Structure 1
Amino acid sequence: MFAIVEIAGLQYKVEQDQKLFVNRLSGEKGDRVTFDKVLLTVNGATTVGAPAVKGIAVEAEIIDHVKADKVIVFKKKRRKGYAKKNGHRQSLTQIQIVSITGFEGAKKSAKKEETTKLAKKTPKKGDDLTLIEGIGPKVAEIFFEAGIKSFADLAKKTKEELEAILNPKGAVYAAMDPTTWPQQAQLAADGKFDELDALKGKLKGGKA
């Protein structure tokens, strides 16, 4: 189990009990600090944040504040007689990773997101009304939104009721003739698909 976490502007791969040096943090020796910008976790499965993994946090303990080895910075301008030499020691904090917490909550959050995505991709439950001659996917969607979700629902409607649903959707739908749709739907609801196919063979766009 490990995580990629952002600490003081830099990204680190960390595991429990690991010791590492990071840019100077505020706090005293022995203090606990928490980092919640976790970009990736691997705990059996890999979870990538967008940008951070929700619910995951890395807790660490400050061990010491130190300075890194001196770095020499030498600047020179050619033919200008300019030369300057400086030394720099970066201030660092040594920390130890105490725990990577929140995996249970992250799993629930990920599962919830996955369920939401799946729900968006999963077709709405109900009969496939496009089996009715003259009904396409868009009309089936309009009927679904109007509460007509099954062949039985459609069979109960009159031509006038169906026209009242279609007419406000525009001229294309207002021009449709739903006269035979309840009859076809009743055959489908009764499981008489051979008779339905025979009837559909005599129709054109749902019209007799």
Structure 2
Amino acid sequence: MRHGKKDNHLGRTHSHREAMLQNLATSLIMHKRIETTVAKAKELRKFVEPILTKAKDDTFQNRRVVFQSLHNKETIKELFGAVADKIASRPGGYTRIIKLGNRLGDNADTCLIELVDFNELLVAAVAEKAAAATKTRRSRRGAGAGTRQAAASTEVPSAEVVEEAAPAVEATEVEEAPAASTTSSDDLTKIEGIGPKIAELLNNAGITTFAQLADAQDETVQQVLTEAGPRFNVHDATTWNEQAALARDGKWDELAELQDRLKGGKEAEE
């Protein structure tokens, strides 16, 4: 008997079921929305939501644990990058199931399963509804005196005030003009071994471009990681300047070949 056993085996062996859920989770993370049956979607939700929770804390151990479940480097990059940034403020419930009805052929109950924060239409609709709910209706009683008083207090300022305010605007524009010429930064997360949080640490330390990372000493980068705490000190930064030099020179094919040989930012053992 199956008393108390809530998992749906989906008519598959354990290994077949695990492989199927890995593929479904990979597709969901990469495409943010997939169509499948309701039974598979419910099992996928139980499989992928703990993974999404771990992705919110970008540590070396969490990356290893998640990689054991997904077995795909590109999925790990997307998960700990764009997806983790989107769901950072959500305490749970990262997925939504939308039923589509029965499909032709086998009459299976189908649905869409999607990541909640990536449905821009529904997110905008919820925000608009929340903004409309915050508006309050005010009574029009006694509006006569109040309206006249408000009108008196909002009279057009005199010409002298306008003439005095004009030079201040010009001075502000002259002072703020140089601030527009800022150097653009590169996406350091394209370097194998650097996640969004490490990239933020490097940016705070003044390393914002591939050229700066390529010229930085290994001791300097390791010092930044050490000061950030023990969770970042475990990363090996010995190949980051080599990867950054290839990215700086636009040698993306050579960078991809190098990253295929790397595991966690260091040379993988044969």
What TM-score results when the alignment is normalised by the length of structure 1? 0.44
What TM-score results when the alignment is normalised by the length of structure 2? 0.35
Structure with more of its chain in strand, by fraction: 1
